[in-house]
Amino acid sequence: MSSERHIIPFGGLRKTAQRVHPIITYALDATGRSRVRVCDIATATGDASRYDSWFPPERTWVTQLRLFDRTVADITEFLCDQDLIFVGGGNTLSMLAVWRAHGVDTALRAAWDAGVVLTGGSAGSLAWFECGTTDSYHVDRLEPIHDGLGFLSGSHCPHYDGEAQRRPLYQRLISEGFAAGIAIDEDAAAHYVDGEIREIVSAREGATAYRVEVGANGAVVETPLVARALI
């Protein structure tokens, strides 16, 4: 295992011509393994995984951590034995509550500290930060969420260019005192190593990530970050 700690949040993934999405390939490559042990955690959709087909069988062994019909006795040991942990989208609020009830939050921290790469989009990107924007509370509007895992400091907004409410809400929240943070477009990812951004990668022209913060004059400043194109 690497002594570095990796988290790769992405804003969401759209269909591409590639059989395997370039950001998934990027996350697999980050493990440094030719064959990658992947754990798919689908708590945000009640353990109903929608992502197993995203991982090439010739390169991965995919398992799932199920919590609604739990079969794993020692979750920390199980997660620390992976190379990559993938967290899918869904209801972030419910996911975090179930994780904490089963001790998955502390198990994920142990796996991260052990060098297991953490990745995911939507709920699976928001979870790693302190706070962010979510549709978990309502079916028709977004709200702030304040109790993320906090592995990464500050706030986060996924789907930045994919959902109309995301950008205006995130900027308003930050103008009102919400922690500054990172917004990520769909088909873009931020690669954090030991809590700091190493690079931004993009699988679609124009997709990137942004620092969003209050500037010296009190106005919200959105700064696009340079992304390395994966295709």
DSSP assignment of 127-195, as one string?
TTEEEEEESSS-SS--EEE-----SEEEEEESSTTTSTTHHHHHHHHHHTTPPPEEEE-TTEEEEEETT
Gap between the Cα atoms of 117 and 88, Å rounded? 14
Tokens of 38: 């992947």
Active site residue 146: no
Active site residue 122: yes
**Which of 122, 125, 136, 202 is labelled catalytic?**
122
Question: Phi and psi dihedrals of 27, rounded to 5?
Answer: -65, -40
**Which of 6, 21, 156, 159 is labelled catalytic?**
159
Q: Mind telling me the catalytic residues?
A: 122, 159
